[in-house]
C-alpha cells in the first residue's frame, strides 16, 4: 500500500517540485498552500506523514503543528528556513518529529521521508509485540526517582508523569537501556531516528537539552544525561 503524504507549502514552485518528486518515488501526495486548509485536509484524511512549512499565510506552521499534535499522532516533518527556529520546532511547545533546513536537495528530503516512515513502521511493530501479555520485571525501568514504563511508554519522576514527546521518550529509553555506555551522536541518530547517514547531529543535542529540562534536578549540571566530550552522551541512571 502506498504511503500517503500531505505537503503544506505556500511557495508554488517548491510545492510542485515536492509533489512531483515524491509522487515519482511512489507516494500518494496531497498538497495545501496554507495552514487553515491543511488542518481541514488532515482531519479528513489519515496521512502517514505531514510535511509542514513554517512561514505560511494566515496560520503559521508552528500553530498548525501545535493543533495537529493535540488531535493526531501523524509524524510531522517541518520545513524550516532558519537555524534559530529549530529549538522551537522540536520543543514541547510545537512538537514536530523532525525538521529539514531549507534549502535542501530532493535526495536529502526523500531520504528523510523514507527514514521517518520506516521508523513509524518499526514502532508500530514494536507496539504490537509489546502489547502481547508477557509479565516481566523489565516492564518498568527504575533509576532512583525516575521510572520508565516501557509498556505504557510513560516516564515518571517521583510518581509524577512527565510530558515527553515521542522522540524524547525513545531517546531516553535508548540511552537508559545502554546505561553507563557512551553513545555517539551517529549511533543515537541511527538507532533512535533511523537515519542511515551521518550529519544533523544537532538534532540529538537539541533533544538532549529538552530532556534535561525534564529529568534533571539541575539541567545545567546534568547527573543523568552526561555529555561525553567529543563523542555523545551517556545515561548514568
Query: Binding residues for Ca ion, per CB under 5 A?
Result: 10, 53, 55
- Residue with smaller CB distance to Ca ion, 85 or 168: 85
Minimum distance from CB of 56 to Ca ion (Å)? Answer: 6
- Residue with smaller CB distance to Ca ion, 10 or 216: 10
Minimum distance from CB of 102 to Ca ion (Å)? Answer: 9
Cis ω before 103 (30° cut-off from 0):
yes
Q: How far is Cα 109 from Cα 103, in angstroms, rounded to an integer?
A: 10
- Residue with smaller CB distance to Ca ion, 39 or 148: 39
- Residue with smaller CB distance to Ca ion, 82 or 118: 82
End-to-end Cα, the chain, rounded Å:
42
Which positions ≥6 away from 78 have C-beta within 8 Å?
52, 53, 54, 61, 65, 85, 89, 94, 96, 98, 99, 100
- Residue with smaller CB distance to Ca ion, 88 or 224: 88
Q: Are 225 and 216 in contact (CB under 8 A)?
A: yes
Minimum distance from CB of 206 to Ca ion (Å)? Answer: 22
Which residue reads 514527546 in cell numbers? 165
Q: Is the C-alpha dihedral spanning 26, 27, 28, 32 positive or negative? A: negative
Q: How far is Cα 111 from Cα 197, in angstroms, rounded to an integer?
A: 9
Helix (H) or strand (E) holding 212: helix 202-215
Q: Are 11 and 80 in contact (CB under 8 A)?
A: no
Minimum distance from CB of 57 to Ca ion (Å)? Answer: 8
Q: How far is Cα 7 from Cα 39, in angstroms, rounded to an integer?
A: 12
- Residue with smaller CB distance to Ca ion, 82 or 179: 82
Which residue reads 555517539 in cell numbers? 184
Minimum distance from CB of 14 to Ca ion (Å)? Answer: 8
> Which residue is nearest to Ca ion, using beta carbons?
55
Minimum distance from CB of 21 to Ca ion (Å)? Answer: 18
Minimum distance from CB of 198 to Ca ion (Å)? Answer: 29
Q: Are 175 and 167 in contact (CB under 8 A)?
A: no
Q: Are 65 and 78 in contact (CB under 8 A)?
A: yes
- Residue with smaller CB distance to Ca ion, 9 or 168: 9
Amino acid at each position: 500500500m502506498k504511503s500517503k503524504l500531505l505537503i503544506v507549502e505556500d511557495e508554488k514552485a517548491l510545492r510542485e517540485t515536492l509533489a512531483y518528486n515524491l509522487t515519482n518515488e511512489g507516494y500518494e501526495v496531497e498538497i495545501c498552500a496554507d495552514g487553515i486548509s491543511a488542518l481541514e485536509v488532515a482531519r479528513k484524511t489519515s496521512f502517514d506523514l505531514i510535511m509542514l512549512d513554517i512561514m505560511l499565510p494566515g496560520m503559521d506552521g508552528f500553530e498548525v503543528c501545535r493543533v495537529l499534535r493535540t488531535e493526531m499522532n501523524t509524524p510531522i516533518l517541518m520545513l524550516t528556513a532558519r537555524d534559530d527556529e529549530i529549538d522551537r520546532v522540536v520543543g514541547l511547545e510545537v512538537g514536530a518529529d523532525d525538521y529539514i533546513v531549507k534549502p535542501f536537495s530532493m535526495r536529502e528530503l526523500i531520504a528523510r521521508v523514507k527514514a521517518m516512515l520506516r521508523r513509524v513502521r518499526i514502532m508500530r511493530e514494536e507496539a504490537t509485540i509489546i502489547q502481547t501479555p508477557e509479565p516481566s520485571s523489565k516492564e518498568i525501568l527504575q533509576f532512583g526517582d525516575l521510572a520508565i514504563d516501557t509498556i505504557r511508554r510513560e516516564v515518571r519522576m517521583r510518581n509524577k508523569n512527565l510530558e515527553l514527546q515521542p522522540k524524547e521518550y525513545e531517546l531516553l529509553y535508548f540511552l537508559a537501556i545502554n546505561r553507563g555506555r557512551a553513545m555517539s551522536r551517529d549511533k543515537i541518530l541511527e538507532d533512535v531516528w533511523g537515519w542511515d547517514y551521518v550529519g544533523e547531529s544537532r538534532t540529538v543535542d537539541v533533544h538532549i537539552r529538552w530532556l534535561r529540562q525534564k529529568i534533571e534536578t539541575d539541567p545545567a549540571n546534568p547527573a543523568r544525561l552526561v555529555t561525553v566530550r567529543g563523542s555523545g552522551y551517556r545515561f548514568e541512571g
